[in-house]
Amino acid sequence: MGKMGGSRHLKREMTPTFWPIHRKKFVWALKPSPGPHPIERCIPLGVIVRDLLGLAETMREAKKIIAQGKILVDGRIRRDEHFPVGLMDVVSIPEINVNYRVLPCEKGLILHEISAEEAKYKICRIENKTVVDGGHIQLNLHDGRNILIRSEDPNSPAGNIYRTLDTLKISIPEQEILEHLKLEVGMMGLIVDGENIGRYGIIRAIEKREGQKRRKSLVTIEADSGSYQTILDYVFVVGDNMPRISLRGVREAYALS
């Protein structure tokens, strides 16, 4: 009889290349549990504590640290070493006063150290939106969150101002909307997938073709190091002429007219 359901184990040779683990020294790796991010776009919390932050020498030690509630993800204590940490998530360790945000890089994902003030919010992309009972709008975000926008008039929902692929700056863990960033020309975009992953700059053009899905539209991004092209689905709006989050290598006076 065939096996039912997915495997509970993961071999090291099958893990994403950006995980900082040795792939031939041991056979098995920590498998992320089902959650807000898929395996290929996340890092399990145990690997972050042991391999990325160096807070433990073994996974046994990492499990103890996590089980004691010393690690917060998006402002909430996570006690599962398998918990998947992905794009834009905020990892905080109050005991030693450090905070990190998960950002894209050339190889995949990295931890970028941020200030305590910046750790109070994150940026989420709207992947889908649906109308629920009463004419209210439910926004489905990239990290598995759902935010309900209540409308007093069902015939004119307040959520119509939000479009898929726009981003929201939300407080964590309260999940209150602080700012709405539209995906349009003139905004600052961060490339989160593809050949130019990790690059960012001002969106100069969005080329739409008839009969083509909006997510496949060609986008031109101008950075201080040159111009880059990618598809709309790989663009994550992070600000207007200035980013709302700190980015690797960004200058304090960064701006493009």
Is the pLDDT score of 241 beyond 60? yes
Range of the domain at 103: 10-116
Q: 0.85 cut: is pTM over it?
A: yes
Residues 97 and 144 in one domain: no
**The predicted structure's pLDDT at residue 102:** 95
Residue whose token pair is 């046994």 = 60
Residue 2 in any domain: the answer is no
Strand partners, 15: none
Most confident of 15-24, 43-52, 211-220: 43-52
Name 209's Cβ contacts closer than 8 Å, sequence gap at least 6.
217
Task: Tell me which DSSP letter residue 147 carries.
Answer: E
Residue 5 lies in a domain: no
Tokens 């909307």 sit on residue = 177
Q: Please check whether residue 4 lies inside any domain of the structure.
A: no
Q: What are phi and psi of 41, to 5 degrees?
A: -130, 35
Reported confidence tier of residue 4, pLDDT bands at 50, 70, 90: low
CATH of the domain at 139: 2.40.50.740
Distance separating alpha carbons of residues 69 and 66, to the nearest angstrom: 5
